[in-house]
Each structure stands twice: as structure tokens, then as C-alpha cells.
């Protein structure tokens, strides 16, 4: 009888382990996340030349910032600022949605940090990113 | 006695569940981030943004192409 109970303990441990594996994926296919992704994807076509010219760059906290407004004609600067703030609003929403969508609002900061590193890693060469407060060309 | 073992089982299962949920799944988050970034920047799906192509494109001849013929 004791043996039986012991094997039950092991079985439940194995089961718990497989739950851990099942929980190892983050859910990122909620309607809210898909909507943010679509909005960001659309905006990226407009942002792309600004990344390439160095007008904007990736920050260390997973957002973007205007790096060199003089790389943009004066008449377009207002539009550029609008694009940057819209992008940052979407990114902040994205990090929040991933955390809350997985039942852990407190993960938002960790999600943001993870994205910060991945955006920079996947950035094209020639783009700028922030490192310890300084702009670096990739 | 059996009551104690029952409690132990409950405690282990609960501990396991709590452990799973408290820690931030860093590897899973990286995977999720990669997937989302690929989509937002359209890095995969054969729609690669042709920004750094000019440096790759001017290779004169596709020398390696004929080598790929399958040996029957």
C-alpha cells in the first residue's frame, strides 16, 4: 500500500513536470496581440527608411526613439514624431498584452526586456540602437 | 499515517504548480518575441525586406547552381 502511494507521488511529480513543459510556451495569438502586430507591421513600412537613415533607433528598453531629426526634412519631422509615439504606444501595449494574456501582468517588464534584446539582435546592419545610453550603429 | 502521505502528495503537487507559474519563462518569451518580430518586420515568409540586398546581389555568376543536380 505504501509502495502504491509512493508511486502515486512519483506519477504526480511527472505529471506536474509535463504541465511545466506545456506551460513553457507563451500564448501570443490573442485577438488583442494580433491587432497590435498588424498595426505595427503596417507602420513598419513607414519607419523602415528612418531606421536606415539613422533618424530613429532602437532603445534599450524595447522602444524606439528619434536619434537624429536632422536626417529628416523639416516638413516631415512632425510626422516622424507622430510615428515614433504611435509605435511606442503599440509596443507598450504589446508587452502588456503578452503579460496579461498569459495571466501574469507582473511579467510585463520581463517581456519588455526580452523584446528589447531581440529587436536589437534582429535589426538590420546600419540601424542604430542604444547601448548604455549611447547610440551604436549595428 | 496515510493522511500524512496524502498531505505530502497535495503539498508536492501544489508546490510544483506554484513553481511553474511564478518564474518568468525566459526561453519561451524569447521564442515568442522572435516570432512576433519576424512578423512585424517581415523577416521570414519569403518577403524579406530588400534593404541589404545590393551588397549580396552583384555576384557575377551563379557558379554553385549546377552542382546541385541530384546524382541518380
Residue A107 near residue B24, CB atoms below 8 Å:
yes
Collapsing DSSP to helix, strand or coil, A57 comes out as strand
In a domain, A49, yes or no: yes
Q: Which of A135, A44, A119, A117 is nearest to A86 (CA)?
A: A44
In a domain, A44, yes or no: yes
In a domain, A126, yes or no: yes
User: How far does A83 lie from chain B, in Å, by closest CA?
Assistant: 15
Q: Domain of A53?
A: 30-137
Partners of A20 on chain B (C-beta within 8 Å) are 16, 19-20
- Rounded to whole angstroms, what are the CA distances from B48 to A49, A91, A124, B28, B51? 15, 22, 11, 25, 9
pLDDT in tens, chain A (138 residues): 667 666 665 666 655 554 554 457 899 999 999 999 999 999 999 999 999 999 999 999 999 999 999 999 999 898 999 999 999 999 999 999 999 999 999 999 999 999 999 999 999 999 999 999 999 999
Structurally, how many domains does chain A consist of?
Answer: 1
For the stretch B13-33, pLDDT in tens is 666 655 555 789 999 999 999
Owner of C-alpha cell 547601448: A131
In a domain, A19, yes or no: no
In a domain, A6, yes or no: no
In a domain, A82, yes or no: yes
Name the residue facing B36 among A9, A37, A125 (closest C-beta).
A37
Collapsing DSSP to helix, strand or coil, A117 comes out as helix
Quote the CA–CA distance of A84 and A90 in Å, as a whole number: 10
Reported ipTM: the value is 0.84
Amino acid at each position: 500500500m505504501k509502495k502504491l502511494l509512493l508511486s502515486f507521488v512519483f506519477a504526480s511529480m511527472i505529471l506536474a513536470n509535463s504541465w511545466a513543459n506545456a506551460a513553457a510556451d507563451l500564448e501570443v495569438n490573442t485577438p488583442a496581440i494580433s491587432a497590435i502586430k498588424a498595426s505595427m507591421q503596417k507602420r513598419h513600412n513607414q519607419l523602415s527608411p528612418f531606421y536606415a537613415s539613422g533618424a530613429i533607433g532602437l532603445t534599450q528598453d524595447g522602444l524606439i526613439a528619434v536619434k537624429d531629426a536632422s536626417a529628416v526634412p523639416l516638413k516631415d519631422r512632425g510626422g516622424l514624431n507622430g510615428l515614433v509615439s504611435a509605435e511606442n504606444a503599440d509596443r507598450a501595449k504589446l508587452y502588456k498584452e503578452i503579460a496579461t494574456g498569459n495571466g501574469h501582468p507582473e511579467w510585463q517588464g520581463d517581456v519588455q526586456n526580452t523584446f528589447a534584446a531581440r529587436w536589437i539582435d534582429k535589426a538590420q546592419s546600419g540601424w542604430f540602437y542604444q547601448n548604455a545610453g549611447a547610440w551604436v550603429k549595428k | 499515517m496515510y493522511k500524512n502521505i496524502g498531505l505530502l502528495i497535495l503539498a508536492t503537487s501544489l508546490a510544483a504548480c506554484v513553481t511553474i507559474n511564478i518564474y518568468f519563462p525566459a526561453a519561451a518569451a524569447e521564442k515568442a518575441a522572435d516570432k512576433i518580430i519576424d512578423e512585424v518586420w517581415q523577416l521570414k515568409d519569403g518577403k524579406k525586406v530588400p534593404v541589404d540586398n545590393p551588397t549580396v546581389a552583384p555576384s557575377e555568376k551563379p557558379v554553385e547552381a549546377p552542382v546541385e543536380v541530384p546524382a541518380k
